[in-house]
Structures are given as structure tokens and as C-alpha cells.
Amino acid sequence: MGREQIYSQPFSLDGSRLSFQILPRIALMTSASMVFKISFVIFLGFVTLPLIVMRYMNRLVLAGKMSKPIIRRGCLQIWIRKLWILSTVDRLFYPLICYCIYLPVGPWSVGYLVEDHLGAIFAWGILVNGNFLPGSFTYAYGFVQLATFQFPLILILANGVDNRLRNLILRPGKTKTIWDLIGLHLPFVMLLSIQLLMAYFFLLAYGYLAFFLGPLRTWSIVLALVLWCQTLQLPEKCTRDAANVWFTTAESELSQTSLNDYTEPAS
């Protein structure tokens, strides 16, 4: 005798409702497009709101309206300090926030998406030859960009700014070892390599026009390079506010007077 397989499918003849388990019910009732949209919005707030809140809190601390937050746990305290310092540097803070705000508003790329038809990709859909196509997976694409590039970039820049501040305040003139340089630059090189690879795949899929007019993939690489160079060459005046909050006079090898010698506003 051959093998037999029996499948059963419940159905109703009298119009009564069938009961399903919780997981199948969620799968049937959930809209994938809505899930991607909610995930994109939540993660967008996750990468922008902490920096905005820390920047505002830094102003309150400097104005004497609140005390510096004291966090006992080492790792959490370290990363809060690094992100806090990043939020005080104008030339890094504003490009990061503006780019994140641009993603749900502006076009991600402009090019020949369909043969001989010019179009633009937005978070909320695609415009091709004057016709609007609602996007269901564009939000997923944006979520991947935020999770795999924007969020790691913020962490890498925060670590770089903290390292730059310590070199200026606590370790002026100290020579870096090869391992220090590798630990500082390797995460950025890896992140940039992944983004370059994804930009190359985008070039193969949509052509040169979409590649060069692509803020999501191509322009983000340029932005990352500019911000990283700014981080490595950050002048001391840009870190003055953060130094006044996170480093006491006893910890600093520069006196408070030397920090106040700079009259230009931090940029």
C-alpha cells in the first residue's frame, strides 16, 4: 500500500464563526504594511529622540536648572555619556537629526525605476511616470537602513567624539598605539563597507541615475565620511559644554580657565 496523507480543513455551513488559536489569528488579522510602517516610525524615534532629549538636558545642566544624571551601572553610564557628548556638538547633531527627519519626507532615490519611465521612491510609496504606487515594503527598506546604518553610525560617532574629548581634556599629547587606532577606525570601516556593498547592489538594480540621486544609499555614505572626518578633527571649543558637564577639574589636565578662554559658540 502507498503512503496516505490526510489533511483536514474546518469550515462552516451554517454561518457560525470558527475559533482559531492566537498566533494564527494574529497572522491573519495583521497587515504587513502597517507592521513595517509602525516599526519604521518607532525606530526613527528611537534614533532621534534620545539625542534631542540629551541636548535639552545638557542646556538645563549648564544653566543650573538640573543636576547631571547619576547612573551607577558602568556600561549604561558610559554610553549615555558618549551619546550626551555627541548631542552637544552642533556640526554632528544637526546633520544626523536632519537626515533622520528627511527619510520619512523626501525622496530616497530618483531614477528610471521602470524601463524608460522616470520615478521617485519615497517612504510612503513610489511615483512612476506621474502615477502613485502605494508602497508596502518601502517602510521595511527604511527600517533596515535605520537599523543597519543610521543607528550604528550614531554609536560609532558617539564613541569617536568621546575619544576625541578624552584626548583633548584628559590625555593631551598622548601617542596612540596601533591597537587604539584599529579599535577606533575598524567599526566605521566595517559599517562603510557594508553600506558601499548595498549601494552597489542598488546601482545594479536601478542604474547610475538612481545611484547618484540616492540620498538613502549613496548620499548617506558621503554624509558618514564627512561626519567621521569632523569627529576625528573636532576642535576643543566644540567639546567645551560636554567637558563642563562630564569632567571635573580634578579629572581634567586642562584647567577650567583654559576651557573658558574660547569665546566662540560651540559648533
Sheet of 109-114: strand order equals 109-114, 117-122, 125-128, 131-134
Largest CA distance in the chain: 94
- In 109-234, DSSP assigns E strands to 109-114, 117-122, 125-128, 131-134
Looking at residue 145, its amino acid is Q
pTM given for the model? 0.80
Query: pLDDT digits over 186-237, tens only?
Result: 999 999 999 999 999 989 988 898 899 999 889 999 999 999 999 998 888 8
Instruction: Work out the pLDDT band at 19, boundaries 50, 70, 90.
Output: low
Helix (H) or strand (E) holding 147: none
Query: What average pLDDT score do residues 49-61 get?
Result: 92
Question: What is the predicted pLDDT for the residue at 242?
Answer: 79
Q: How far apart are CA 7 and CA 255, in angstroms?
A: 80
Which pLDDT tens digit goes with each residue over 29-48?
A: 667 778 888 889 999 999 99
135 closest CA partner among 29, 26, 37:
37
